[in-house]
């Protein structure tokens, strides 16, 4: 992607239009939230030319946005090197968690195949499944609930920072036959004291 194309891809998110597009004033229910960020982006700010950074960021945001839309999700926000999206129950009957997982796997695969030799962005994706509520408050999108909290807390785990997707046993419950059963890589303790297992998906096709 050229620098001009990368800037064009980023501008709607900088201006906040894409996050508000087709977003209802309020919504709630069971769903899955996806959070993403670029590992090591802050370090790259000091050692990589700004044009290269903008180009790489444009690539990531473009892949992320197209994938979320392809798998019937909604982009809530993209700010700098991080973003949020969510899924409620699909009219087709496909579970929100399955759509989000397939989207995350697609993002990992696409970015693994399109790495720049100058800057290789490693994107960490996390999925949280459970209750969510949100909508527009004073014109800005907001999201709360267990699914949102889980996705954000997965980002805080002390795990190797690599291109991968983290998810819990709550998401795994919807993925029968979608991914091989693997051992958990960590446990997440909720404020209620409940522990949930954490799993990691890595794309090995590249």
DSSP for the chain, written as a single string: --HHHHHHHHHHHHTTHHHHTT--SEEEEEEEEEEEEEETHHHHHHHS-HHHHHHHHHHHHHHHHHHHHHTT-EEEEEETTEEEEEEE--TTS--HHHHHHHHHHHHHHHHHHS--SS---EEEEEEEEEEEEEEEETTEEEEESHHHHHHHHHHTS----SSEEEEEHHHHTT-TTTS-----SEEEE-TTS-EEEEEEE-----
On whether the 3-14+27-201 domain is CATH 3.30.1490.20, my answer is no
What's the angle, vertex CA 84, arms to CA 133 and CA 172, rounded to 5? Answer: 75
11 band by pLDDT with thresholds 50, 70 and 90: very low
Predicted confidence (pLDDT) at residue 112 exceeds the cutoff of 90: no
Q: How far apart are CA 26 and CA 76, in angstroms?
A: 13
**What pLDDT is stored for residue 125 in this prediction?**
93
Residues in Cβ contact with 76 at an 8 Å cutoff, skipping those fewer than 6 apart: 19, 23, 83, 84, 85, 86, 134, 141, 143
Any idea where the domains of the chain sit in the sequence? 3-14+27-201
- Locate 120 and state its tokens: 């290789």
**Over residues 15-23, mean pLDDT:** 49
- Who wins on pLDDT, 123 or 17? 123
What is the average pLDDT value for the chain, to the nearest integer?
A: 78
**Over residues 156-167, mean pLDDT:** 86
196 band by pLDDT with thresholds 50, 70 and 90: very high
Predicted confidence (pLDDT) at residue 47 exceeds the cutoff of 70: no
Predicted confidence (pLDDT) at residue 165 exceeds the cutoff of 60: yes
Length of the chain: 206
Percentage, residues of the chain above pLDDT 70: 72
Q: Which of 100-104, 121-125, 133-137, 143-147 has the lowest mean pLDDT?
A: 121-125
**What pLDDT is stored for residue 170 in this prediction?**
93
Residues 68, 62 contacting (CB under 8 angstroms): no
Q: Which of 105-109, 120-124, 133-137, 200-204 has the lowest mean pLDDT?
A: 120-124
Predicted confidence (pLDDT) at residue 206 exceeds the cutoff of 50: no
Query: What sign results for the dihedral spanned by CA atoms 156, 161, 163, 166?
Result: negative
**What pLDDT is stored for residue 200 in this prediction?**
93
């Amino acid at each position: 992607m050229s620098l001009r194309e990368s800037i064009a891809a980023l501008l709607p998110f900088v201006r906040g239009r894409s996050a508000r597009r087709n977003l209802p004033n309020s919504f709630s229910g069971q769903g899955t939230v996806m959070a993403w960020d670029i590992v090591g982006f802050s370090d790259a700010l000091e050692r990589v030319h700004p044009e290269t950074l903008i180009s790489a960021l444009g690539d990531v945001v473009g892949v992320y946005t197209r994938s979320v839309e392809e798998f019937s999700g909604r982009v809530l926000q993209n700010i700098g090197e991080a973003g949020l999206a969510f899924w409620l129950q699909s009219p087709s009957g496909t579970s929100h968690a399955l759509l989000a997982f397939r989207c995350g796997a697609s993002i990992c695969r696409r970015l693994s195949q399109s790495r720049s030799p100058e800057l290789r962005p490693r994107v960490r994706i996390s999925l949280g499944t459970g209750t969510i509520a949100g909508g527009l408050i004073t014109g800005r999108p907001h999201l709360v609930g267990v699914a949102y909290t889980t996705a954000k807390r997965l980002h805080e785990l002390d795990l190797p920072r690599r291109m991968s997707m983290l998810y819990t046993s709550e998401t795994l419950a919807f993925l029968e036959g979608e991914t091989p059963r693997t051992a958990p890589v960590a446990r997440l303790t909720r404020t209620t004291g409940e522990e949930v297992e954490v799993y990691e998906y890595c794309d090995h096709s590249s």
